[in-house]
Amino acid sequence: MPNEPTGVVTEILALAQEGNETSRDAAKDQLFGILYTELKRISSRKMAHERDDHTLQPTALVHEAYIRLADGNLAASNRGMFLGVAAKAMGRVLIDHARDRNALKRGRGWKKVNPTVSLADLNSEVDLLELEEILERLGRYDPRVKEMVMMRYLAGMTVPEVAVALNVGKTTIDKWWSIARKLVSRDERNENSHQ
């Protein structure tokens, strides 16, 4: 829940995109300070569904995402959009971590990405490298669908959180989720028919 006055995050986001490098960095630091609890909640929720032996902890995930975001332009104009951008950064950290550690080899006890999972089962342990391939395919179809899946699957954001972050309604998120499931199912059918 927000605990700062309405509009403060929006003002800080504007400062993080204006002025000199020092003022932008100070605004980014202030932003992370204000939203740290929410970022940690997103991170903890996601990490709760990772392998038991995962070497990355929720706090480290937040800090890695912060480093990535602090080095770039924060393309967000409000709290929801920023949390969405941060959630995507966390997802990228997890994928990069899996690749770098070479810990997620196919057939190593991970569940395959299941395009028919319900929203309640969305955070099942999956092969993140396979998920990355799926995200690339979804991005070619529609970058917004890819963003939505990243926020739901990689960051564990709720439908209302994603709707706010992407500035669309819940029904649009539900529609995009249905499209993503159909595309993944179609791709799997095509792969299986070529084997």
Tens digit of each residue's pLDDT (9 = 90 or more) over 83-97:
888 888 888 888 787
> What is the pLDDT confidence band of residue 35, given thresholds at 50, 70 and 90?
confident
Residue 111's pLDDT is what?
44
pLDDT tens across 63-86, in order? 888 888 887 777 777 888 888 888
Distance of alpha carbon 74 from alpha carbon 146, whole angstroms: 19
Is 1 part of a structural domain of the chain? no
Inside any domain, residue 69: yes
Domains in the chain, number: 1
What does the alpha-carbon distance between residue 13 and residue 148 come to, in Å, rounded to a whole number? 22
**Torsion from C-alpha of 1, 68, 75, 98, nearest 10 degrees:** -80
More reliable by pLDDT, 159 or 115: 159
pLDDT over threshold 80, residue 109? no
Distance of alpha carbon 69 from alpha carbon 84, whole angstroms: 12
- Report the alpha-carbon distance of residue 170 to residue 160 in Å, rounded: 6
Identify the pLDDT of residue 117. Answer: 44
In a domain, 147, yes or no: yes
Domain carrying residue 133: 8-193
Indicate whether 2 belongs to any domain: no
Residue 87: inside a domain, yes or no?
yes
Question: Is residue 3 in some structural domain?
Answer: no
Give CA–CA dist 150/119, Å, rounded: 13
pLDDT of the residue at 122: 44
Decide if pLDDT at 182 tops 60.
Answer: yes
What are the pLDDT digits (tens) for 118-177? 333 444 455 666 777 778 888 888 988 888 887 887 667 788 888 888 889 999 999 998
d(CA 147, CA 122): 15
Flag whether 62 is in a domain.
Answer: yes
Does residue 159 lie in a domain region? yes
Q: Considering the chain, what is the average pLDDT of its residues? A: 75
Kindly report the pTM of this predicted structure.
0.62
| CB contact at 8 A, 120 and 114 | no
